[in-house]
Chain A
Amino acid sequence: MIETRDLGKRFDELWAVQALNINVQEGQVLALLGQNGAGKTTTVRMLTGLLTPSRGWAKVAGLDVVRRADAVRGAAGVLTEQHGLYLRMSGEEYLEFFGSIYGLTPSRRKDRARQLLEHFELLPAASRRIGEYSKGMRQKLALARALIHEPAVLLLDEPTSAMDPESARLVRDEISRLRSSKRAIVMCTHNLVEAELLADRIVILFQGRVLIEGTVAELKAKVLGPPEFEVRFSRPWDSVSLSLPPGSTIIAASDMQVRLRVERPEQTNTEIARALLAVAAPLIAIQEAPRTLEQVYLKVMALAREGNLVH
């Protein structure tokens, strides 16, 4: 659905995006992460045919973004970085206007506008001018605009920025629903929790280059090493005598708990449990130590700034 090869964009002497290779299938969400100016918005703009790539190519919904730019724009729903709403229009008028631009019939665009307004809890404000909307309401309306023509591909730049937690949750649920309905979604965000929750694959950009990419689990393994597990005991217990299977090491220990790094938990964790039972350890729980995408991101950025990480 969305594919790029060696995609790059140069502004004068500056490469805003370089050698970007992504492939997003239907029903997948790809999150583009990175600092401001890393090249996320430039990538989205190339994918909508607003910017012409300086090198490489990109296809959206099977259409070349340079040669079939107008068709690409018809197939994609775009949530731009700035919501870009016409403040003197009402929410309903606004959605119907974009519905007409995307070629929906009058009855269809009316239905679709009402549907989206209702879904995003904007129906009570449907006839009010957008200028009177709160930031969160405007963001939801902008997302509704991107969905008005039921696009096969969604390009979302900061979909939940400026939203209150409830609205953000609503939008996240909508993105999950869209993924389930076989849409291909590219999402730029600074919200790492959101990216971890929604994205099937993550791409981290730094100064226009891809630093690292993969699933959340792959990135954690690559950047933070093998997963870590915490073993908790009901009473003080000497874990030093514990004989662990190969591929697992103790990285921290106290009287009541021990932290293990396990290379292949799917194979080794059973043996670890057996070993603990064999020495009658007062075991309460074995659980994976939480490691977040934020940790991955911060580590990757630190390495990149030190010049120690080039994909």
Chain B
Amino acid sequence: MLEKEILFTRLVPVWLVTRRELQDQIRDWRVIMPLIILTALFPVLMNAFAREAVGFLNRFSANLIVDRLVPFSVLIIGFFPITVSLVVALESFVGEKERGTIEPLLSSPLENWQLYMAKLLAGIVTPLAASFLAILFYLTMVSRQGLKIPPAHILLVLVVVTAAHAILMVSAAIVISVQSTSVKAANLLASFIVIPVAILMQGETVLMFWGNEEMLWLAAAAVLILAALLIRVGLAHFQREYLIGREVDSINIRSIGRDFWRDFRGNARSVAGWYRGVMLPALRRVGSPLAMTVAIAAVGAWMGYLWSVRNLREAIASANPEALADISDRALRIPELVNLTEGISAPALFLHNSEVVLGILVAGLLSFSVLGVLVCFLNVGLLGGVFGVIEMLGLPAWPIFAAGVVPHGILEVPALMLASAAVLRIGVVLVTPQSGQSIGGVLIALLADWTKIVVGLVLPLLAVSAAIEAYITPGLLLAALQR
């Protein structure tokens, strides 16, 4: 009870700041007018379009598209007011900084999280309210025209998806607002929010026309997880000093390069010294993420195996017997493997695997490690799936696996896991408060650690595994299959 009271007391200042911000927005015609116009006008336009489209499609009896048209319009109508009112969130911190009103607020006893959450809430309420009002307005018009209103469960998922979009976009806008030094810069960076969400919406529209409601729920959940991570990153790197101290945006490439090189090289004077004094500590730092990656990989392998056993069995059962016979025949045409080594190039394998490692980094950086780890999960899952397929074909799975995967996989898979663990660490550290360090400084140190592990361990392991895969594995696999 007491804890609840304390929590409530601590939430009061959040509401006070949010309420003030909302009052300010209502009093600002530059915010309110476009919102009112968009909220009222856009549904009318969309309704006119839908009416015409329905008439047109009915001529061709395209009932499915007609059914999906209204939900599609709801999704679009919900999205537009969010993009317009994003300006409120974009200028939440940097706008106050430009107007000089941020310092009294920062000098007050508000805690960082209270200030951040208040701004976040104020940024979310307006777009969501506008968005929901527009949807309601549109649905009212639709019902008056006798068009079919989507069923409640579809409407619910659309409302949740719209809310998820708003939370994601506002969370990103607040991070931008904290990190920018001018409203102009923040507005320019808004494209990095609107365009990806617009692309995401295209994907969601496909899901909707496809009629896969379950996937739409999953998409909403993924968007909300990403939004939660963004909020966490924003909170972790929210520093009053940063808001007060920085006046000008400047990217000093030379300084970034110098910091990175200093972190990467450490105090090492020889390669052995570098491995001992620089790489090894970096490796120790990825200890926990590595343990987590191994666990994820194990789950991935098991799930891949289960998936292939469950789904492929059905697929095989319902497949055309002639096609199946052809596949089995091709799989058992062992002599073809004799020439296999000629078709495999070690450098090409190394290059491909290195590209995967780089892909893990890029995917990880764009998604706070989630997609990076997912690549590892899928790769290892594929191995589990292949194991299941070999088993179903009635071949000796363990010997084939031991001969065809283990010789190079014993190096390649740990290399992949190490690279994924280093990327996972980047995400984990980014969402963890780092006192006294800027987000840029933290990122440089993390990228330096990733490079140490990749250059010092992952690439050498991949090079050796590529050589084994090209020159040793085919022979072993052939021997196993001939037995």
Q: A100–B12 Cα gap in the complex (Å)?
A: 9
Enumerate chain B residues within 8 angstroms of A103, measured Cβ to Cβ: 109
Cross-chain contact A80 with B107 (CB below 8 angstroms) = yes
**Which parts of B24-50 form the interface with A (CB within 8 Å)?**
24, 27-28
Instruction: Tell me whether A125 is interfacial, beta carbon within 8 Å.
Output: no
Instruction: Tell me whether B245 is interfacial, beta carbon within 8 Å.
Output: yes
Q: A80–B103 Cα gap in the complex (Å)?
A: 7
Cross-chain contact A101 with B244 (CB below 8 angstroms) = no
Q: A70–B115 Cα gap in the complex (Å)?
A: 12
Cβ-defined partner of A80 (8 Å) among B104, B109, B436:
B104
Q: Which of B23, B107, B436 has the most CB of A within 10 A?
A: B107
Cross-chain contact B107 with A101 (CB below 8 angstroms) = no
Cross-chain contact B28 with A101 (CB below 8 angstroms) = no
Cross-chain contact A101 with B17 (CB below 8 angstroms) = yes
Instruction: Tell me whether B53 is interfacial, beta carbon within 8 Å.
Output: no
Q: Which of A48, A73, A86 has the most CB of B within 10 A?
A: A86
**Which parts of A21-53 form the interface with B (CB within 8 Å)?**
45, 48-52
Q: A84–B102 Cα gap in the complex (Å)?
A: 7
A57 to chain B, nearest CB (A): 15
Cross-chain contact B101 with A50 (CB below 8 angstroms) = no
Cross-chain contact B24 with A101 (CB below 8 angstroms) = no
Enumerate chain A residues within 8 angstroms of B468, measured Cβ to Cβ: none
Instruction: Tell me whether A74 is interfacial, beta carbon within 8 Å.
Output: yes
Q: A89–B28 Cα gap in the complex (Å)?
A: 11
Q: A35–B296 Cα gap in the complex (Å)?
A: 60
Enumerate chain A residues within 8 angstroms of B111, measured Cβ to Cβ: 70
Q: A100–B9 Cα gap in the complex (Å)?
A: 12
Cross-chain contact B100 with A84 (CB below 8 angstroms) = yes
Instruction: Tell me whether A85 is interfacial, beta carbon within 8 Å.
Output: yes
Cross-chain contact B24 with A73 (CB below 8 angstroms) = no
Known: A86-B20, A101-B13. A52 touches B241 (CB 8 A): yes
Known: A50-B107, A78-B107, A101-B16. A83 touches B100 (CB 8 A): yes
Cross-chain contact B108 with A102 (CB below 8 angstroms) = yes
Cross-chain contact B100 with A51 (CB below 8 angstroms) = no
Cross-chain contact B103 with A84 (CB below 8 angstroms) = yes
In which size bucket is the chain B interface? 20 to 34
Q: Which of B24, B101, B108 has the most CB of A within 10 A?
A: B108
Cross-chain contact B108 with A73 (CB below 8 angstroms) = yes
B174 to chain A, nearest CB (A): 19
Enumerate chain B residues within 8 angstroms of A304, measured Cβ to Cβ: none
Enumerate chain B residues within 8 angstroms of A162, measured Cβ to Cβ: none
A58 to chain B, nearest CB (A): 15
0/1 interface trace, chain A 66-91, chain B, CB 8 Å (1 if under): 00001101101010111111101100
Instruction: Tell me whether A133 is interfacial, beta carbon within 8 Å.
Output: no
Cβ-defined partner of B245 (8 Å) among A48, A51, A82, A101:
A51
Enumerate chain A residues within 8 angstroms of B57, measured Cβ to Cβ: none
B28 to chain A, nearest CB (A): 7
Cross-chain contact B104 with A78 (CB below 8 angstroms) = yes
Closest to A80 in B: B103
Cross-chain contact B100 with A82 (CB below 8 angstroms) = yes
Enumerate chain B residues within 8 angstroms of A78, measured Cβ to Cβ: 103-104, 107
Q: A78–B100 Cα gap in the complex (Å)?
A: 14
A69 to chain B, nearest CB (A): 8
Q: A145–B108 Cα gap in the complex (Å)?
A: 10
Instruction: Tell me whether B125 is interfacial, beta carbon within 8 Å.
Output: no
**Which parts of A178-196 form the interface with B (CB within 8 Å)?**
none
Cross-chain contact A86 with B24 (CB below 8 angstroms) = yes
Give 30 A-B contacts (CB < 8 Å), ordered by A residue.
A45-B244, A48-B107, A49-B240, A50-B103, A50-B106, A50-B240, A50-B241, A50-B244, A51-B244, A52-B241, A52-B436, A70-B109, A70-B110, A73-B107, A73-B108, A73-B110, A76-B107, A78-B103, A78-B107, A80-B103, A80-B104, A86-B101, A89-B20, A97-B20, A100-B13, A101-B13, A101-B16, A101-B17, A101-B109, A102-B109
Interface residues of A (CB under 8 A from B): 11, 45, 48-52, 70-71, 73-74, 76, 78, 80-86, 88-89, 97-98, 100-103, 142, 145
Give 18 new A-B contacts, CB below 8 A, not counting A78-B104, A84-B100, A88-B28.
A50-B240, A51-B245, A70-B109, A70-B110, A81-B103, A83-B100, A84-B101, A84-B102, A84-B104, A86-B20, A86-B24, A86-B101, A89-B23, A97-B16, A98-B104, A101-B109, A102-B108, A103-B109
Top 7 A-B residue pairs of the complex, sorted by shortest distance between their CB atoms = A82-B100, A74-B109, A78-B107, A80-B103, A84-B101, A88-B27, A84-B104
